[in-house]
Structure 1
Amino acid sequence: MSAERVLDELTVHQLLGRIVYFHVLLIAPDLPAADRAPASGPACCRHRAPASRSPETVLAGSAWGALLEVAAELPGHHRPCPRTSNACCAACRVTSAAAAAGSGWAAAEHRAYHQHSPAPGLLDACGRAAASRVGRVFAARHATACASLDRLTADPPAPETLPGVDELPLTGELLALWADPAATTQAPVVSWLNHCTGGLGDVRRVLESRRNPS
């Protein structure tokens, strides 16, 4: 294995680890009880067109599997293939899980900081951006093609529809890190998040203190 390949793998693991870390530490404690059963999304590439190729087993036991676990805790935002299994297109599974993280985190942060639910357009934009950015990294790492991912990346949400790190720090950092992983993983985009340990209430207090310094 080349040094470049090892570096790429470590970078991806760092990015995925940061998603899991912040989800468990800050997002999950503030998630409301699920108010609806998980809904299915469109069929994945493999179940729409069985001849398409994608690594079926690459998710099992890999760091990418942790992203699926995060999505499972966001049933109101996760839209997996109706026939979800290891036979699914792996890229489709990753993109649907990333979309759940993007929209689910944005919803949780917005509720915590503003005390009301965000506009649906914000959640859609965050979900699509996360799906295309994370999915693109996965497809490149595993040299796999995915028609659904191609359509997603061909029509990204407009930058002005996405929250910045000063508005929704966790969601904003997730989107920024995966937009250009090689350029951003050496240092976190929002370094002060590393000091937050008390859920989204802790993040809200830091945001307020930064906006209104005494």
Structure 2
Amino acid sequence: MRPGDEVTVHQLLGRISYFHALFIEPTLAPATAATSGEACCNHRTPAETVRPSVGGLLAHSAWAVLDEVAATLGARAGRCPSHGHACCATCRVAGSAAAVADAWLATEHRAYRRLEPGAPMRQACREAVAARLTRVFVHQHHAPCPAAHVDEKAGAWLLPGADELPLTGELLALWRDPLSGGGSPVVSWLNHCTDLDDIRRVLDTRRLTP
């Protein structure tokens, strides 16, 4: 990674943690049903090559915060059936990112009094966020696995923009290519909000403004 890239990654992960604690967790939309996750690379049968583990790599990096955020999501997280420190670190990042995306998408819809997002939108959002965060994790830690090859192109037109769902839209935009140096698509006015009601009021005002 180039000088400064690691700082950028830490800042973006910190923004996920901060926004989740401030906006999402207090009004988290309940999961519709328990999500049974797939076995990670290190727990598949027959066993594949053992890859860097959660306990060996993830727990000692800034990415541990993503796992901590996903742990607040309960059934929505879709953990490996053998969930533990021996799990593949890259699989855990992909699964945690997908769970965060799904929770943010559903919670924002609910908070802004919108209809529940449909299954195609949820799937597209989960896959896009998982692919984007996992790509950065693999680049930083050289820990490839099949989870790093999720295709995010299918249903890309369903992904929400920051003008529609500010938190989820910004999450998607910030992680699209965060190490390119092409500028940061931060939704700056979010920094002045303290809860989802504040965000909803800003959105309502913007819709009424010609």
TM-score, length-scaled by structure 1: 0.88
Contact map agreement 2:121 2:155 (CA 8 A) in 1: no
Q: Give 1:171 deviation, angstroms.
A: 0.3
Secondary structure at 2:179's aligned position in 1? helix
User: Is residue 2:153 matched to residue 1:159?
Assistant: no
* Contact 2:104/2:167, CA 8 A, preserved across alignment: yes
Structure (1/2) with the larger helix percentage: 1
**1:206 matched to 2:197:** no
Offset, 1:122: 1.4
Whole-angstrom CA distance in 2 between matches of 1:66 and 1:15: 11
Quote the Cα distance in structure 1 between the aligned partners of 2:142 and 2:119.
33
- How many residues of Structure 1 are paired with residues of Structure 2 in the alignment? 207
Partner of 2:105: 106
Question: C-alpha displacement at 1:182, in angstroms?
Answer: 2.1
Cα pair distance change 1:83/1:149, threshold 3 Å: same
TM-score (norm 2): 0.89
Task: Quote how far apart the aligned CAs of 1:19 are.
Answer: 0.3
Partner of 2:92: 93
Written as runs of structure 1 = structure 2, the 5 A alignment for 1:72-83 is 72-83=71-82
1:87 to partner: Cα distance: 1.0
Unmatched 5+ residue regions in structure 2?
Answer: none
Q: 1:167 to 1:142 in 2, by over 3 A?
A: same
Cα distance in 2, alignment partners of residues 181 and 146 from structure 1: 21
Q: Alignment RMSD, CA only?
A: 2.1
Structure 1 residues 76 and 51, CA gap change in structure 2 (3 angstroms): closer
**How many Å apart are 1:29 and its aligned residue?**
1.3
Counterpart of 1:15 in structure 2 is: 12
Please list the CA deviations of residues 19-49 of structure 1 after superposition, one character each: whole Å capped at 9, or x if unmatched: 001001111111145675x533110111115
Identity %: 51
Alpha-carbon shift at residue 113 of structure 1 (Å): 0.9
Corresponding residue for 2:21?
A: 24
SS at 2:76 equivalent: coil
Gaps of 5+ in 1: none
Question: Cα 1:157–1:104, aligned 2, differ >3 Å: closer, same or farther?
Answer: farther
Contact 1:16–1:63 (Cα < 8 Å) also in 2: yes
